[in-house]
């Protein structure tokens, strides 16, 4: 049974993006990323049993929300150190595309480390966007550790996947969403390392709204759910999910504190539920959703009865999925429950 919704607690002022910071970030971003739409899709609402609004971050120039954070971080980096100061980062894809595109815009040099077996199409996009791509490690955490070693050896700035400037940047999608729909009862947000949900919590609090923020993790990458339940950051040995944007196993303490204080609850969904949500998005809206982008819908469908009659927002964080995998997902048969 879904627990009752409790009033959200505000995280300490020092740990969240302020309204002034979000507005300043938006000034940097809007030259490259126009406000993305939020749509009410009738078929999706029928499926979910509630008034459902989708924030389409799959419509940014790199097909994902991460571009917002990259632009803000790299603009600040270049302002302080000049474009000749190179950066290195680790990614499963969307963060790397963000940094590569931002570096190309501001004239900086980007090196991006990805694990073996990473999405071929995301790798190709990062190269096309100007990054030097390095393949190292069996998962994201091993890529992070190698990127740190390269940063030390080559005199590069190690760019984290979670940072206050990244939160300020990605938080601008929530600023847009909440200003367009301040009457949302709840918003479902996927969690990787946490910049997205921390940006949503920051924008919600900065605008003084009462919207409940519900985080979504994958069953195979449950670190933040375990951490919130335990009251302290807990790393996992594996992050095994087809939703690569959520495949993280070491929580960020700063993100954990914001999530613990500001999220109403964390919901865990299976890969099968995520795949079903990807099919639902395509059937009901003809939008392509990658695994992390579909996870919020998967969580809403799992909590359909508890959310019946409410006004709910979903963050479709990205649509960057390899064609072969998406074709495989679409070819799978829906269960009787998924068809209703």
Predicted pLDDT at 321: 94
Domain identity same for 186 and 299: yes
Is the residue at 203 inside a domain? yes
Domain identity same for 281 and 251: yes
Alpha carbon of 151 to those of 38, 86, 126, 134: distances in Å? Answer: 39, 9, 19, 13
Domain identity same for 229 and 93: no
Is the residue at 312 inside a domain? yes
- DSSP for 307-336, please give it: HTT-EEEEEE-B----HHHHHHHHHSPPPH
Domain identity same for 60 and 75: no
Is the confidence at residue 12, as pLDDT, over 90? no
Please provide the average confidence, as pLDDT, over all residues in the chain. 92
Domain identity same for 77 and 225: no
Considering only 140-144, 251-255, 279-283, which range has the smallest mean pLDDT? 140-144
Span between the terminal Cα atoms of the chain, in Å: 21
Torsion on CA atoms 42, 43, 45, 46, rounded to nearest 10: 120
Domain identity same for 154 and 202: no
Is the residue at 58 inside a domain? yes
Residue labelled with tokens 């375990």: 226
Is the residue at 8 inside a domain? no
Predicted pLDDT at 340: 54
Specify which residues 24 forms β-bridges with: none
The domain boundary residue, chosen from 118, 138, 158: 158
Is the confidence at residue 140, as pLDDT, over 90? no
We report the CATH number of the domain holding residue 121 as 3.40.50.1100
With b for 16 or more beta-carbon neighbours within 10 A and e for fewer, the 210-242 pattern comes to ebbbbbbbbebbbbbbbbbeeeebbebeebebb
Q: What is the CA radius of gyration of the chain?
A: 19
Cα gap 216→264, rounded to integer Å: 11
The domain boundary residue, chosen from 134, 158, 182: 158
The number of beta carbons lying within 10 Å of the beta carbon of residue 190 is: 31
Higher pLDDT, 160 or 114: 114
The domain boundary residue, chosen from 127, 143, 158: 158
Specify which residues 133 forms β-bridges with: 112
Predicted pLDDT at 90: 93
With b for 16 or more beta-carbon neighbours within 10 A and e for fewer, the 152-189 pattern comes to eeeebeebbbbbbbbbbbbbbbbbbbbeebeebbbbbb
Domain identity same for 310 and 168: yes
Tokens of 77: 């980096």
CA count, 13 A, side-chain hemisphere, 148: 7
Cβ pair 178, 204 in contact under 8 A: yes
* Pairing status of strand 38-40 against strand 51-56: antiparallel
Is the residue at 2 inside a domain? no
Domain identity same for 55 and 149: no
Tokens of 118: 């990473």
Task: Specify the number of domains making up the chain.
Answer: 2
Domain identity same for 168 and 126: no
Domain identity same for 139 and 229: no
Is the confidence at residue 15, as pLDDT, over 80? no
Considering the chain, what percentage of its residues have pLDDT values greater than 70? Answer: 94
Average pLDDT over residues 97-111: 94
Predicted pLDDT at 336: 62
Predicted pLDDT at 13: 35
Is the residue at 99 inside a domain? yes
Domain identity same for 217 and 334: yes
Is the residue at 216 inside a domain? yes
Cα gap 206→127, rounded to integer Å: 37
Is the confidence at residue 339, as pLDDT, over 90? no
Predicted pLDDT at 333: 87
Is the confidence at residue 11, as pLDDT, over 80? no
Cα gap 175→204, rounded to integer Å: 8
Is the confidence at residue 5, as pLDDT, over 60? no
Average pLDDT over residues 210-232: 97
Is the confidence at residue 9, as pLDDT, over 60? no
Does residue 207 sit in helix, strand or coil?
Answer: coil
Is the residue at 1 inside a domain? no
Average pLDDT over residues 102-122: 93
Please state whether the predicted TM-score (pTM) of the whole model is above 0.95: no
Domain identity same for 86 and 214: no
Q: Which domain holds residue 333?
A: 13-64+164-339
């Amino acid at each position: 049974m879904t627990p009752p919704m409790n009033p959200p607690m505000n995280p300490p002022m020092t740990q969240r993006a302020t309204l002034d910071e979000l507005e300043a970030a938006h000034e940097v971003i809007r030259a490259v990323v126009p406000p993305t739409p939020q749509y009410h899709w009738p078929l999706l609402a029928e499926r979910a049993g509630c008034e459902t609004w989708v924030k389409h971050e799959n419509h940014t120039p790199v097909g994902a929300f991460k571009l917002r954070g990259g632009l803000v971080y790299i603009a600040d980096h270049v302002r302080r150190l000049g474009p000749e100061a190179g950066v290195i980062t680790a990614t499963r894809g969307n963060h790397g595309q963000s940094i590569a595109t931002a570096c190309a815009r501001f004239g900086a040099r980007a090196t991006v480390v990805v694990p073996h077996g990473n999405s071929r199409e995301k790798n190709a996009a990062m190269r096309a966007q100007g990054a030097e791509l390095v393949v190292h490690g069996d998962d994201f955490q091993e890529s992070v550790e190698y990127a740190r070693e390269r940063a030390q050896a080559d005199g590069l700035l190690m760019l984290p996947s979670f940072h206050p400037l990244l939160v300020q940047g990605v938080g601008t999608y929530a600023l847009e969403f909440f200003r367009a729909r301040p009457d949302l009862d709840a918003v479902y947000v996927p969690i990787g390392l946490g910049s997205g949900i921390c940006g949503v919590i920051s924008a919600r609090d900065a605008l003084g709204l009462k919207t409940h923020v519900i985080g979504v993790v994958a069953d195979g990458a449950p670190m933040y759910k375990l951490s919130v339940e335990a009251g302290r950051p807990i790393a996992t040995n594996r992050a095994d999910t087809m939703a690569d944007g959520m495949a993280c196993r070491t929580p960020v303490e700063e993100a954990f504190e914001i999530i613990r204080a500001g999220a109403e609850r964390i919901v865990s969904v299976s890969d099968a539920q995520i795949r079903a949500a990807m099919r639902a998005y395509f059937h009901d809206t003809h939008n392509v959703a990658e695994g992390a982008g579909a996870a919020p819908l998967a969580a809403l469908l799992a909590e359909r009865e508890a959310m019946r009659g409410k006004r709910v927002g979903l963050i479709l964080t990205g649509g960057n999925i390899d064609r072969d995998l998406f074709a495989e997902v679409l070819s799978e048969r829906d269960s009787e429950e998924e068809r209703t």
